Amino acid sequence: MQSEQSIKSAETVIDNVDINTAESDAYALLAVMEESTKSLTYQGTLVYTQGSRMETLKIFHTLKDGVQSERLVHLSGTPREIIRRGDKVICVHPKNGVVELKNTVPAGPFARDYQARLGSVNEPYTVKLSGYTRVAGREVTVLAVQPKDAYRYGFKLALDKQTGLLLQSLMVDANNKVLERFEYTEIKIGGDITTEQLAPHVDHSRDRLSLIDMKAMQSHSVSAANDRVKLEPQAVQEQNWRVSWLPVGFTLSTAYFEQKPAGEAKRSRQNSKMYSDGLSAFSVFITPDVDMSKALSVQSGATLAYSLVKRDAEGLYSITVVGEIPPEAAKGIASSVSRIAAR
C-alpha cells in the first residue's frame, strides 16, 4: 500500500513537469527521486562500469514500518554483498567476513546524495531538465547535473517517468565523455520482497550466514583496521599538516593517522583526509620521508591518483590525492599541502 501511494505521488509530480519550464521543476524531480529510492519496493539487475572495469549487480530493496532493507549482490568477480537495515550497513565478503560500514551510505545502488546537495542555488552544480529516453525498457526523464567550475565532474540522471526512481547515472567530463556508469538492465517496481531475498548468502571464512538480524549484524561487525585511528574534528586542527586550497563546496568528511609500533619515529606516520561535496569525493594521503623521482598521475574512469613530493626544513614528504576529480583539481590540492612548523 505504501509503495502504491509513493508511485501515485511520483506520477503526479512528473506529469506536471514541463521540459521547457523553470529549472525548479528539475529540483522537484530530485525530491521525488530521493523519496522513491527510499520508499519503493523494487528489485533488478544493473551494471556498473568505470574505465575498463565492469561489474554486474543484483538489488533487492523495500521499506517496512519505516525501516529500509536492502541487499546489493555482486554477480561478477569475488562474491560479496552489501546489506542495509535502516541506518546500519555491512559488507559480507568470503575472506574478510562481515565488515560494518561506519560512514552513512545513501540507499540504493547509486550512492550519491543528489537531492540533499543539489537543492540550493549556492551549491557548485546546476540541475536542468535535459530530455527523455528509455532505460531497461521504461520511459525516463533525463536531468543534467552540471558543475559550475572545472574542478568536478557532471552527471546525467535518468529517472523513471512513472515513479521517479533513478534507473541510470552517468558521470561525465567537460567533453561529455562518460567516466562512470550505473544502469539497470532490468527492474521490477512493486510487489513483495521476501526475508530470504534480503538475507546474505555469501560464505565467508568465519561463519556461514543465511538469515541475518540486527543482533547478528552487531555481533559480527568489525571496526576500522587497528593501525588507523579516526580523528575527531578538533584533533584534525591539531595535526601538523595543512591543505590550504580546496574547490568550492568540498568539506572534510573524515581524517585518520596511522599508528606505528612503539619505538618508531612519530614523523613516519601516514595521515589521510577525505573530502566530499556530496556527489564527488577525494582523499589526501601525506607520508613523511618518502621520496619519488617525479610527480605521478594515473587515471581509471573517474578515479584519479596524483602524487608529488615536497621538501621543507624538516625533510621530504609525499602527497597523494585519490578521487573522482579532474587532474587540475588534484594538482591544485596536492600543491597546497604544507607542513605546519612545530611550536
Q: How many Å apart are CA 179 and CA 323, to the nearest integer?
A: 13
Domain that holds residue 325: 228-339
For residue 88, the model assigns a pLDDT of: 87
Compute the distance between CA of residue 53 and CA of residue 180 in angstroms, rounded to an integer. 10
105 and 182 in a common domain: yes
One domain, residues 194 and 284: no
Q: Where are the alpha helices (DSSP H) in the chain?
A: 2-15, 24-39, 114-118, 195-198, 214-220, 233-237, 327-336
Phi, psi of 198 (to 5 degrees): -90, -5
Helices and strands (H, E) in the chain, number of each type: 7, 20
**Is the domain of 209 the same as that of 234?**
no
Cell 568536478 belongs to: 152
Number of domains into which the chain is organized:
2
Nearest of 147, 172, 184 to residue 48 by alpha carbon: 184
pLDDT at 228: 47
Residues of the chain with pLDDT under 70: 1-24, 96-97, 100-111, 113, 115-122, 203-239, 257-269, 291-294, 342-343
SS3 15: helix
In a shared domain, residues 197 and 313:
no
Which of 202, 220, 238 is at the close of a domain? 220
| DSSP state, residue 184 | E
Euclidean distance between CA atoms 126 and 119, whole angstroms = 9
Q: What is the pTM of this model?
A: 0.79
- pLDDT for 231 equals 47
Tell whether 18 and 125 lie within a shared domain.
yes
